[in-house]
Amino acid sequence: MHGKESNVKYARWFSVLVIFASFLFSGFSQASQNPVEIAKLEVNIWPEYDRPDTLVIYRITLTSDTKLPAQISLRIPRAAGSPYNVAFKDLDGLLYDIEYTLIPEGEWNRVVFITSSAEMQVEYYDPNIDVVGDQHTINYRWIGDYPIKDLVAIVQQPKDASHLVITPDLGLGVINPDDHLVYYTRDQGPLDVGIAFNLKLEYQKSTDSLSATSVSVKAAGELPIRRTLRGQLEALVLPITQNKGLVVLGILIFAWLVLFIAATFLSSGRSFDALKLKRRSAERNEAKVEEASQVYCYQCGKRARPGDVYCRVCGAKLQAP
């Protein structure tokens, strides 16, 4: 009966624990699926920079209303294959790699990942450059999967390129003193969901030279680095500590775990005590049975050994008990 009651108690504790754990993980899932809104999207288009392709760099900043961690899903051209890099910016200002999933979708590849930071960077190389003689044509397109409050387009003019025409017009180019290349920039403003942003580049170029060959050995942007184990743990814990609801749930689950362990320990202690009492009772009963089966000499009172017929001290014949 006692064992059945203990099993019932264990089942109740385990059920409560499962419910709270499910609630916690569902909270994580809901956080990952919260609506995403982009505060600023910076689209960098660098044709023939360090490859004969077009390097496209997205610098994305989420709005403060977007709950973290958030699941991001971006489309890149199918011809681009896998992205060159997917990273997020940490509190130290550095970029760290993010694991992602690549899902083919028609003429696109969808890059899906979860970020714990509001700032991230995605890079890929698009090989779709139409070349006819010296005429180079590039057609870029952004699919509006998320609402964007501010889209900024930046085009880097390739080395040895001339007669560059950008549609829509990005204004006058400015020489960057760091790499001595010309950049065209324009703030396009907000962009709603489902609205595509298209950009067309046309220029004359008779050489195969790449822009990076004229740049001194210096990172063109912040290089993503591999996070250490400690950094990965911090990145995992940070969004949890920033979410008060998850913190409260974590405290409740920890308290229930402590209670569950304490109840298990106390119950096992009582079971152990009951087992010891049962053993002692059995030993006493065995002792009584053994004592009752002993034979003593009626003459001298000496206890006989099992199998004795005569007393080993006085020689009197023993009587059966």
Asked if residue 4 is part of any domain, the answer here is yes
State how far the Cα of 27 lies from the Cα of 250, in Å rounded to an integer: 11
Give the span between the Cα atoms of 274 and 279, in whole angstroms: 9
Q: Domain check: are 48 and 95 in the same one?
A: yes
Q: Which of 242, 269, 285 is the last residue of a domain?
A: 242
Domain match, 163 and 77 both: yes
- For the chain, the domain total comes to 2
Across the chain, mean pLDDT equals: 79
Task: Tell me the β-bridge partners of 167.
Answer: 200
| Range ranked top by mean pLDDT from 173-182, 216-225, 234-243 | 173-182
In a domain, 123, yes or no: yes
Residue 213 lies in a domain: yes
Report whether 37 contacts 63 (CB < 8 A). Answer: yes
What is the domain range of residue 277? Answer: 1-30+243-294
- Comparing CA positions, the residue from 139, 132, 3, 154 lying closest to residue 77 is 139
79, part of any domain: yes
Query: Tell me: the pLDDT tens digits for 152-204?
Result: 999 999 999 999 999 999 999 999 999 999 999 999 999 999 899 999 999 99
* Judgement on whether residues 151 and 215 belong to the same structural domain of the protein: yes
Q: Are 204 and 135 in contact (CB under 8 A)?
A: yes
- Whether residue 285 is contained in a domain is answered as yes
- pTM of this prediction? 0.61
Residue 308 covered by a domain: no
Q: How far apart are CA 57 and CA 86, in angstroms?
A: 10
Q: For residue 271, name the pLDDT band (cuts at 50, 70, 90).
A: low
**Six-digit token string for 217:** 């050995």
pLDDT band at 265 (very low <50, low <70, confident <90, very high): low
Calculate mean pLDDT across residues 74-90: 95
